[in-house]
């Protein structure tokens, strides 16, 4: 198979850098260009030091981009849609990691969670990769909403997130003395990802998801704790069956619910660098509350890994190609 020529726009950022790491080792891919305005003409290893001895590529500016087969766009929200016409003229296929095209199939983009949109991805040229917190939440709750098993207006989700979610631009809140050791509630309501979650978990009827986000002492990772209230009197074995039916054949979803040991439920730390989404649950013995817990690496299943999974699907390549790292333990 001839190699697919790809370029990354915004490769000096955390999501673009992670994508570069993955694409350099993908057997069907050639990385043609990587852009950064700040670091133009410098080696990509200036901002991605983990890639030393693996590439001699240098950053170029966005205006120097040449035609390629697939453009991965890793720009901040708002920047990507502004340049959409330029990007479209450069590549027949675009995978965008920002929030610009995630809602309402804007400009023909397919929402980028493969587990929900695999068939559409096989036919599309444009994928809008899903938000990281949205990915963790949607994958955790999809089996329950799809099968209409929960109260549609009582769901409460709390995500705990690491600092790399905020990208590599520093700010007052990311300054080390202010960020280190914190547990900071930064978006108790009104998080941007809430709309994506509602879009993907709605199956005809209106739903409500009460969503909050808290920053914690962690570099990579999202842990979503989702409280739902069951419509029916289901036992844990019934819930197992439903999750197995919906997610059992998914290469990157693991149901994690052990009776013993210290890793009984999903933990983001174990997923660093992997494309897995681990999902666990426990039924409250005293009520109809079910707690579903999911974990991902925000830069992998929440960004670059999921984008590469979509790329593989769009090109009829085995979905797991370039994504087989199982993680590290201990870490
Ligand atoms: N971090 C995550 O966990 C995560 C997860 C899912 C999705 N995403 C999305 O992926 C995109 C990139 O996120 P990131 O975390 O990688 O951000 P980041 O670390 O801040 O990187 C942003 C990239 O865009 C470039 N850029 C071009 N024009 C820019 C502008 N006007 N302002 C700022 N940067 C500009 C930056 O490089 P130059 O300034 O050198 O050109 C840099 O390469 C965002 O839309 C984000 O929402 C991120």
3-state secondary structure of 251: coil
Is the pLDDT at 89 greater than 90, yes or no?
yes
- Cβ neighbours around 201 below 10 Å, total: 21
Residue 79 confidence (pLDDT): 96
The verdict on 147 and 248 lying in the same domain is: yes
* H helix or E strand, kind and range, residue 273: none
Residue 183 β-bridge partners? 216
| Dihedral over alpha carbons 233, 152, 145, 326 (to 10 degrees) | -100
**Are 80 and 16 a contacting pair, CB within 8 Å?**
no
Pairing of strands 70-73, 4-9: parallel
For ligand 1, atom 5, name the residue with the nearest CA.
303
Q: How many residues does the chain have?
A: 331
The verdict on 15 and 73 lying in the same domain is: yes
- Quote the domain boundaries for residue 41: 4-130+301-314
Residues 21-44 have a mean pLDDT of: 98
Q: Which two tokens stand for residue 29?
A: 């891919």
The verdict on 116 and 151 lying in the same domain is: no
* H helix or E strand, kind and range, residue 17: helix 14-24
Label residue 311 left, alpha or beta by phi (over 0 means left) and psi (-120 to 50 means alpha). Answer: alpha
The verdict on 227 and 98 lying in the same domain is: no
Kindly give the number of the ligand 1 atom that is closest to the alpha carbon of 62: 41
Using CB atoms within 10 Å of the CB of residue 214, give its burial: 0 to 12 exposed, 13 to 18 middle, 19+ buried. Answer: middle
Pocket residues for ligand 1 (CB within 6 Å)? Answer: 10-16, 36-39, 74-77, 79, 97-99, 131-132, 164-165, 167-169, 298-299, 302-303
The verdict on 117 and 25 lying in the same domain is: yes
Is the pLDDT at 253 greater than 90, yes or no?
yes
CA of 167 from ligand 1 middle (Å) equals: 6
**Mutational pocket test of ligand 1: of 74, 86, 128, the residue with most ligand atoms within 8 Å of the beta carbon:** 74
| Cα separation, 221 vs 296, whole angstroms | 6
| Cα separation, 128 vs 306, whole angstroms | 10
Q: Does 226 participate in catalysis according to the annotation?
A: no
- What CATH number is associated with residue 66? 3.40.50.720
| Cα separation, 300 vs 236, whole angstroms | 30
Within-domain flag for 256: yes
Residue 1 confidence (pLDDT): 78
Per residue in 208-225, pLDDT (tens digit) is: 999 999 999 999 999 999
Q: In total, how many domains does the chain have?
A: 2
Considering the candidates 60, 68, 74, 132, report the single residue annotated as catalytic. 132
Q: Can you point out the beta strands (E) in 208-259?
A: 209-216, 222-229, 253-255
For the chain, first and last CA: distance in Å?
37
Residue 38 confidence (pLDDT): 97
Per residue in 221-241, pLDDT (tens digit) is: 999 999 999 999 999 999 999
Residue 56 confidence (pLDDT): 97
- What CATH number is associated with residue 138? 3.30.360.10
């Amino acid at each position: 198979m001839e190699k697919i020529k790809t370029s990354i726009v915004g490769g000096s950022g955390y999501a673009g850098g992670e994508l570069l790491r993955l694409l350099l080792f993908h057997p069907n891919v050639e990385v043609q260009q990587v852009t950064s305005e700040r670091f133009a003409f410098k080696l990509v290893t200036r901002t991605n030091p983990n890639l030393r001895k693996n590439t001699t590529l240098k950053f170029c500016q966005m205006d120097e981009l040449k035609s390629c087969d697939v453009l991965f766009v890793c720009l901040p929200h708002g920047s990507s849609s502004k340049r959409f016409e330029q990007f479209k003229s450069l590549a027949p296929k675009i995978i965008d990691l920002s929030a610009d095209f995630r809602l309402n199939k804007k400009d023909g983009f397919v929402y980028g969670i493969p587990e929900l949109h695999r068939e559409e991805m096989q036919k599309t040229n444009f994928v809008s990769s899903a938000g990281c917190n949205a990915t963790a939440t949607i994958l955790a709750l999809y089996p329950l909403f799809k099968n209409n098993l929960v109260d549609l207006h009582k769901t409460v989700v709390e995500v705990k997130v690491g600092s790399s979610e905020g990208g590599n631009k520093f700010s007052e809140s990311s300054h080390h003395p202010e960020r280190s050791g914190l547990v900071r509630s930064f978006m108790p309501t009104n998080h941007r990802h809430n709309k994506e979650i509602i879009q993907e978990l709605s199956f005809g009827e209106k739903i409500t998801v009460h969503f909050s986000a808290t920053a914690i002492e962690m570099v990579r990772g999202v842990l979503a704790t989702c409280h739902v209230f069951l419509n029916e009197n289901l036992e844990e074995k019934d819930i197992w069956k439903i999750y197995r039916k919906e997610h059992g054949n998914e290469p990157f979803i693991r149901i994690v619910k052990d009776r013993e040991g210290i890793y009984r439920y999903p933990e983001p730390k174990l997923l660093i660098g992997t494309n897995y989404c681990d999902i666990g649950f426990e039924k409250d013995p005293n009520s109809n509350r079910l707690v579903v817990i999911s974990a991902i690496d925000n830069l992998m299943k929440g960004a670059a890994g999921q984008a590469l999974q979509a790329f593989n699907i769009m090109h009829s390549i085995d979905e797991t190609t370039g994504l087989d790292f199982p993680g590290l333990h201990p870490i």
